[in-house]
Copies of this chain bind each other. A is one copy, B any other.
Amino acid sequence: MQKIDGKITAAKIKEEIAAKIQEMVAAGGRRPNLVGLLVGHDGGSESYMMMKTRACEQCGIRSSLIRMEPDVTQEELISKINELNRDNDVDGFIVQLPLPKHIDEQAVVEAIDYRKDVDGFHPINVGRLAIGLPCFKPATPSGVLMLLEHYCIETRGKHCVILGRSNIVGKPLANMLVQKAYPGNCTVTVCHSATPNINEMTRQADILIAAMGSPGFVTEDMVKEGAVVIDVGTTRVPDATRERGWRLCGDVDFATVSPHCSFITPVPGGVGPMTIVSLLHNTLLAATGEVYKK
């Protein structure tokens, strides 16, 4: 069994991104510029944004944060988005979700110029992903594929079973892994809350990706000997032994499942660290115009 180390992989890819940016700048190019839009004062959102900003700094990406009060109107928010859409010095920007309830999130996502949508949530990016065209890929699925690639895991013709059908993880992962590409070319099965015989499906998986947000759901008896197991779950569960009172818990019962795997990601330290790397990667691609011509 080999443990897939997301921290080390993320650090390596960040170094690669940093090197490319240094090269661009040395050649007289602009430094990529990412803007974050944060509405309100939610602690979780604040700390995500801080992590993203710090990661940008590490790679030599300029980044800045625009804060808006929680009572901002949808019109004001979209007007700010239009400003960023027009600003030639901004390569990409992200609107931290969730948004206050009086704002229509989908309308906000669709207001973003898809050529600057480094979160990959705009329908044009979702659609191009589905038909296998260049696009900004969503962060978490993209992080999963980077891990498979980094560990040279064979995917062609493998049966990949995905647990969960969220719009930001399960569905895009299915759309990515079915493509004629590497990583990809998998036979893909998507299971979810309406799947009656989930154990029967998971036991067939050469590659099992758990993205349900159900701590410890995947147990030993559900996994085939030698399977690759990717755990996307990150649920905070109470833990009195920790100072902060909680710990992150994946969808896979690591202790019992891991001895049966060829590769497995831990939680924390598996997929988690990769998501920000995907965002940095998209920002670089936005700056170079590799996905959409400038």
Q: Of residues 181 to 209 in A, which have CB atoms within 8 Å of B's CB atoms?
A: 185-192, 194-197, 201
Which residues does chain B contribute within 8 Å of A174, judged by CB atoms? Answer: 174, 178, 188, 190
Among A37-45, A82-90, A127-135, A273-281, the stretch that binds chain B is A127-135
A226 CB to nearest B CB, Å: 16
Contact A131 B187 (CB under 8 A): no
Q: Of residues 154 to 193 in A, which have CB atoms within 8 Å of B's CB atoms?
A: 156-157, 159, 165, 167, 171-172, 174-175, 178-180, 185-192
A291 CB to nearest B CB, Å: 13
Which residues does chain B contribute within 8 Å of A185, judged by CB atoms? Answer: 194
Contact B123 A195 (CB under 8 A): no
A52 within 8 A of B: no
Oligomer: number of copies = 2
A125 within 8 A of B: yes
Complex-state Cα separation, A188 to B129, whole angstroms:
18
A68 within 8 A of B: no
Which residues does chain B contribute within 8 Å of A179, judged by CB atoms? Answer: 165
Contact A127 B122 (CB under 8 A): yes
Complex-state Cα separation, A197 to B175, whole angstroms:
20
Interchain CB contact (< 8 A) of A123 among B128, B156, B188: B128
Complex-state Cα separation, A123 to B126, whole angstroms:
8
11 pairs from A and B in contact (CB 8 Å cutoff): A124-B127, A129-B130, A130-B130, A130-B171, A157-B196, A165-B180, A174-B190, A187-B189, A187-B192, A189-B189, A189-B190
**Beyond known contacts A122-B127, A132-B167, A174-B174: 12 more, CB 8 A cutoff:** A123-B123, A123-B126, A123-B133, A126-B126, A126-B131, A127-B129, A129-B130, A157-B196, A165-B178, A174-B178, A186-B194, A187-B195
Rank and list the top 8 A-B pairs by shortest CB-CB distance, nearest first: A123-B127, A127-B127, A126-B127, A189-B189, A187-B195, A185-B194, A131-B167, A123-B124
